[in-house]
Amino acid sequence: MTLPLPLPVVPQPSLPIAGSADRFPIRRIYCVGRNYVDHIREMKEGDERDPPFFFQKPSDAIVEDGGVVAYPADTEDFQFEIELVVALGAGGRDLTKAQALDAVFGYAVGLDLTRRDQQRDMRAKMLPWERGKAFDASAPCGAIVPVSAIGHPAKGSITLDVDGAPRQSGDIAHMIWNVPEIIANLSASYALAPGDLIMTGTPAGVGPVRPGETMHGRVEGVGTITITVAPCEA
Q: Please report, as a single letter, which amino acid is at residue 184.
A: A
The minimum distance between CB 220 and Mn ion, in angstroms, equals 19
For residue 112, state whether it binds Mn ion (rule: CB under 5 A): yes
For residue 75, state whether it binds Mn ion (rule: CB under 5 A): no
Distance CA 5, CA 140 (A): 33
The minimum distance between CB 113 and Mn ion, in angstroms, equals 9
The minimum distance between CB 32 and Mn ion, in angstroms, equals 7
125 phi and psi, to 5 degrees?
A: -90, 0
For residue 81, state whether it binds Mn ion (rule: CB under 5 A): yes
Count interface residues toward Mn ion (CB under 5 A).
3
For residue 205, state whether it binds Mn ion (rule: CB under 5 A): no
**Distance linking the first and last C-alpha atoms of the chain:** 37
Instruction: Cis check for the bond before 6: say yes or no (omega within 30 of 0).
Output: yes
Kindly give the pairing relationship between strand 197-199 and strand 29-33.
parallel
Distance CA 138, CA 69 (A): 9
Which span (43-51, 143-151, 165-173, 197-205) binds Mn ion, by CB under 5 A? 197-205
Report the SS3 class of residue 127: coil
- Among 168, 136, 131, 132, CA closest to 71: 136
- Comparing CB distances to Mn ion, the nearer of 99 and 178 is 178
Distance CA 81, CA 97 (A): 26
Burial of 232 (0-12, 13-18, 19+ CB in 10 A): exposed
Report the SS3 class of residue 80: strand
For residue 65, state whether it binds Mn ion (rule: CB under 5 A): no
- Comparing CB distances to Mn ion, the nearer of 130 and 194 is 130
The minimum distance between CB 16 and Mn ion, in angstroms, equals 22
Write each residue from 147 to 186 as x if it is in contact with Mn ion (CB under 5 A), else as -, in one continuous string.
----------------------------------------
Among 75, 185, 187, 202, binds Mn ion (CB under 5 A): 202
- Comparing CB distances to Mn ion, the nearer of 65 and 81 is 81
Which span (112-120, 170-178, 180-188, 221-229) binds Mn ion, by CB under 5 A? 112-120
